[in-house]
Amino acid sequence: MTKKLFMFSGGLDSLTMLAAEDLPKENLRCVYLDYDAKARKQELIACREICHYYQVEFDIIKLDSINEVMSCALTAEGEEVPKGVFDGKGDDKKVIPFRNGIMLSILTAYAIKHGFDEIEVGFNDVGIGTAPDASDEFAGFMKEAIRLGSGGKVSLLAPFTSFEKWEICKLALDCEAPIWLSYSCFVGREKHCGLCGSCEGRLEGFKKLGKLDAVLYEV
């Protein structure tokens, strides 16, 4: 039977893809790729609580020194996380360069080593436009690269690349996912800031559904 890895951050997208999964829990493993983001502490709490909730294995891959090539406002000490949603204008500080490409490459090697057949990711780029490595086009090329690079042993699934955020929120609600356990904020404080791009996207998604988010916000 298929064994699947989830590239997992503890956010709403990660939670939703796990909640929607039909494979037996013993065939699943969630993996957090730790590049020392400002939200690392809260993300790891969310990851562990969600995986405990679903009784799914959880692992961490430490990406030591990766900040030398991936540094931006989401990781750099002393640099404020920009407010607002991604609009494609001056948003370089909100985007970690080629993050998904780097992490998928590492996770593919992990999958081969540990005998996993599939990798699933929850990233999406609809309405954002500043994260080229979160697009449907990028996912398509990575699917082929992973298939070829693994000798056909591993395939990539990216079900949310064409989803609007409200559609992910709806799927989470339909699956009765424990939304209150998820953490999406870039800033990394105990409560979601409500102002960064991730928070605003999440809030807007629930607003379109006429629903309240189940996590706490500072504003």
- Residue 188: Cβ-neighbour burial (10 angstroms; 0-12, 13-18, 19+): middle
pLDDT of residue 89: 47
Residue 116: CB atoms within 10 Å: 21
Q: Cα torsion for 46, 50, 53, 55, to the nearest 10°?
A: -130
Contact 136, 177 (CB under 8 A): no
Q: Kindly give the confidence (pLDDT) of every residue in the chain, 219 residues in length, as a single tens digit, with 9 standing for 90 and above.
A: 899 999 999 999 999 999 999 999 999 999 999 988 889 999 999 999 999 999 999 999 998 766 666 555 444 455 565 555 555 444 455 567 788 999 999 999 999 999 999 999 999 876 554 578 888 999 999 999 999 999 999 999 999 999 999 999 999 999 999 999 999 999 999 999 999 888 999 999 999 999 999 999 998
Domains of the chain and CATH, by start? 4-208 (3.40.50.620)
Whole-structure pTM value: 0.87
Contact 30, 8 (CB under 8 A): yes
Residue 81 makes CB contacts below 8 A (sequence gap 6+) with: 38, 73, 74, 94, 186, 187, 193, 196
Q: Which two tokens stand for residue 12?
A: 């709403």
